[in-house]
Amino acid sequence: MKPGMIPNPFALLQLQTQATLMAMEAGAVIWMRMMGMAGLWSVLPSENARMVTEKQKAFAEAGTRLMLGTMKGQDSQKTLGHALKPIRRTTKSNVTRLTRRGPKRN
C-alpha cells in the first residue's frame, strides 16, 4: 500500500473471509483423514502421501506469490490474497473430494 492510502475495508473483509474458509476446510480435511486412518472414512491408500506432497506444492506456490508481490511493491492485501489462493484451492478441493467419498460402510 502506498503511504497515506487508507486500506480498503472490503478487501480486508474478503481476505479474512477467504482465510476463515481455508481454516474451516483444513479442519474438516484433517477430521476426514483421521477418520480414514481409523478405518471409518473411505479414503484411498494414497491419501497419507498426498497430504504431505500437496502441502509442499501449495506452500511453495504461496511463498512464490508472496515474494513476487512484495518485490513488485504490490499492496499487502492484494499480495496476501494472491498467496492464499493456492492454499485455499487445495483445502477446497480436498473437502469436496473427501466428502464425496463419505464414511466407510461395512
Residues in contact with 57: Cβ distance below 8 Å, sequence separation at least 6, in sequence order: 86, 90
Per-chain mean pLDDT for the chain: 93
9-37 helix and 47-72 helix, angle to the nearest 10 degrees: 160
Interval 66-84: pLDDT, tens: 999 999 999 888 999 999 9
Q: What is the mean pLDDT of residues 80-106?
A: 95
Write down the pTM of the prediction: 0.85
Residue 11 confidence (pLDDT) above 90: no
